[in-house]
Amino acid sequence: MANMTVEDVYGVEAVRGYDPVKSAELCKTVRSADLTQLGDLDAVHPYYVEKAETLKQAKRFDADADMRALAAWAEHWNELPGNHRVAVVDSSGTIWGYANVGNGYREAQYLSSSTCARFGFDMHPELGIGMSLIEKRIGRPVITVTISSFSGASEYGERQREERARKGAEARHE
């Protein structure tokens, strides 16, 4: 399931009867995840913004998807309660909830307490079941994004290195 794209999930075979109008109405009845702890969404480091835009292309999010919230989550995930390493998002870039990695032998992923409370779930379901429950509640498919999607090299880092090399070369010629 980790390699699935939003397009895969939105496919006719994956979700029969998806109705964008019904989804818009259902989404009004549920709040998305609380992003207040993430600070100003416009002040996210460019590295995370670029990684989010790369993810947008790779997972085929909507063309007008706002990836700022996902970028802010990636930058500040360790400041959230429970270190939510998994975000549950739809193709618009809306974060609907988080999952935590459990302790023990199998280390299963479960929906976070805050996500369960917001959706009114009496239990803490494993991530797969939780995603199905969220999809029913908001009327549209969701996928998971892990914090590991925001690690590694980026074009931002390459541009920074090129800029430092250019400045170093100019300083040597002076």
CB 141 within 8 A of CB 90: yes
d(CA 170, CA 173): 5
70, 78, 84, 98, 130 from 38: Cα distances, Å = 10, 10, 12, 14, 23
pLDDT, one tens digit per residue, over 15-67 is 445 666 777 777 777 777 777 777 788 889 888 999 999 999 888 888 888 99
Taking residues 123-148, report their average pLDDT: 86
Between the CA of residue 133 and those of 14, 119, 129, 130, what are the distances in Å? 15, 9, 6, 5
E strand segments, 40-172: 86-89, 95-101, 109-111, 143-146
Q: Which DSSP string do the residues of 70-84 spell out, in sequence order?
A: HHHHHHHGGGSTT--
Two structure tokens written together for 40: 């100003």
- 0.85 exceeded by pTM: no
> So what's the pLDDT on residue 113?
85
Name the token pair of 142: 């969701």
Q: Alpha carbon 76 to chain centroid distance?
A: 12
85-101 tens-digit pLDDT: 889 998 889 999 888 87
Amino acid symbol at 103 = N
Contact (Cβ atoms closer than 8 angstroms) between residue 111 and residue 87: no
Looking up tokens 């992923």 gives 109
